[in-house]
Amino acid sequence: MLTLHCARGKRLARSAAPITAALALAVLFWGADVAAAQTAVVGNGGCIGTRGSINCVGRFGPAGDPNVRLVPQPLDAAAIARAKERDRRWVDRCRPVVAPDRYGVPRYHYAQPGCEFGVGAN
């Protein structure tokens, strides 16, 4: 967080405060633009202030949903065959079924406990 706070004796002139805030944001977003050229990065920032004090903040991070995790896929034919066999055994044991709950929302139901967590035939 970038904080610009003036001492009592040296207060920023009212016209200089917006210029200082704009410069602070320009410095923050310039760094994001350089990073964005290399990877998919998004940023957000802003400033707020009152007489004699301005606070600016910026946050930058990777683009996309932070709650989605990518699972590495098998690379060779043997690994693909093992993954398909493991999936088939899990389906045979857990028998997943989509059925509406009491509110009408479709939900998965399983024949064995632990299947909702992917626990099953390994």
Rounded-to-integer distance, Cα 122 and Cα 119, Å: 8
Rounded-to-integer distance, Cα 121 and Cα 115, Å: 10
DSSP designation for 25: H
Q: What is the DSSP string of 82-93?
A: HHHHHHHHHHHH
Q: What is the DSSP string of 44-63?
A: EEEEEEETTEEEEEEEEEES
Write out pLDDT tens, residues 34-72: 544 556 777 788 888 887 788 888 877 777 777 778 888
Query: Is pTM, for the whole model, over 0.75?
Result: no
Q: How many CB atoms lie within 10 A of CB 21?
A: 20
Write out pLDDT tens, residues 66-117: 777 888 888 899 999 999 999 999 999 999 999 999 999 999 999 998 898 8
